Amino acid sequence: MKSPFAPPPMPTLPAMSSSEMAQLNTNLAIDRTLMAADRSLMAWVRTALSMISFGFTIYKLLEGFEQSGEHFRRATTPRDIGLFLTGLGTVAMVMGTIEYWYRLKALRESRALRLVQPSFVMALIMSAAGLFIFVGILARAL
């Protein structure tokens, strides 16, 4: 009697020549590398989004305290903290996007890949949003 916990039988692959098998393995390796690059870029997006949103939130929170009568040692403290965190998040996003671009460029030498990957588009949008928020804080403070 066969155990209900036994693994299912492995499917048999059609007979392949060694060069076909090598090409299949190469294609799978490129796919894995592309997926790893996508995951890395999305980690950059999450990190940058956290820094940008936290910087903007701190800026607005400290600005609200200042308007309600709370005084800081330096009048530019809310602006400085907001600019630092949003700038840091934007720089992180741009660095991650550049790293991804170079990885994609290297992979395109091995195989034709779409240039417009969803994670790359998201990274570009996040870079623009971070820059927009940074400039907005800077312009409002001047």
Please indicate, yes or no, if residue 63 is contained in any of the structural domains: yes
H or E segment at 112?
none
Hunting for tokens 């190469």 — which residue is that? Answer: 26
- Domain boundaries, position 106: 48-141
Question: Does residue 107 form part of some domain?
Answer: yes
DSSP letter (8 states) at residue 114: -
Beta-sheet strands, E only, within 87-128:
none
Handedness of CA 129, 130, 133, 135 (dihedral sign): negative
16: in domain:
no
CA dist 58 and 83 (Å) reads: 10
Question: Does 22 fall in a domain?
Answer: no
Is 78 domain-assigned? Answer: yes
Domain assignment present for residue 88? The answer is: yes
Whole-structure pTM value = 0.73
- pLDDT tens-place string over residues 68-113: 877 767 767 777 888 899 899 999 999 999 999 999 888 888 888 8
**pLDDT tens-place string over residues 29-77:** 888 989 999 999 999 999 999 998 898 888 888 878 777 877 767 767 7
96, part of any domain = yes
Question: In total, how many domains does the chain have?
Answer: 1
Give the number of residues written for the chain.
142
